[in-house]
Amino acid sequence: MGPMGTREHLKALGLALGLLIGAGAAHAAPNKCGCTLNESNNSCTCSKSAKCGCPGECEPKGCEQKREAARKKELDAETKKAADADRKQKATTASQTKTTGGKSGKGDGAGDNGKVETPPMGRKLSAAETKQLAKLLDSYLKAHPDARSKNAEELRNELSLTPR
C-alpha cells in the first residue's frame, strides 16, 4: 500500500492546490483604494483602511455620495462667485450710468455722449459665467430629462413661472 498511498496523497494535494489557486483567481488583488473585487459573485470587499479614489472600480460604501456632495459644493461655490461678479458688474454699470447720465455740455445735448448703452440682460457673459451657466444647465437637464426637448426660451419661461 506504500506506492498507492503516496499517489493518492499527491492527487489530494494537487486537488487542494488547484482549489486554492482557483479560489485565488476569483479574488483579485486589492486596488489602490484597498478594496478587492470577488469576480465570482461580483461583490466588493474593502479593508478597514480603504479610501475613496477609485471611481468606476471597487470602492468603500459612500464614496459616490461623497463625490456628488463635493460636486454640489463646487457648483454652489461657483454659483455664488458668479452671482458676486454679476452684482459687482451691475453696481459698476449703475454707478457709470449715474456719472454719465447728466448733460456734459458737449454734442447735441442728448446726454448719451455718442455711446449706445446695452441693456444689462444683453451683455456678453464672461468665460467663468459661461462655464457656470453650462454646469447649471447640465445639472438641471440631468434632474429634468424631459426638458431636453424644449428650447431656451421655453425653459426660461417655465422656470420664471415656477415658484421657488
Confidence band of 75 (pLDDT split at 50, 70, 90): very high
Answer whether residue 136 shows pLDDT above 50.
yes
Digit-coded pLDDT (tens) for 5-32: 666 755 655 554 454 444 444 457 888 8
The overall average pLDDT reported for the chain is 76
Q: Note if the pTM is more than 0.75.
A: no
Pairs from 33-39 (Cβ < 8 Å, separation ≥ 24): 33/57, 33/58, 33/59, 33/60, 34/60, 35/59, 35/60
Q: In sequence order, which ranges of 36-126 are alpha helices (DSSP H)?
A: 63-100
Torsion-angle region of 125 (φ positive above 0: left; ψ -120 to 50: alpha; else: beta)? beta
Task: Quote the percentage of the chain above a pLDDT of 70.
Answer: 67
Confidence of residue 104 (pLDDT cuts 50, 70, 90): very low
Write down the pLDDT at residue 74: 93
Residue 69 pLDDT exceeds 90: yes
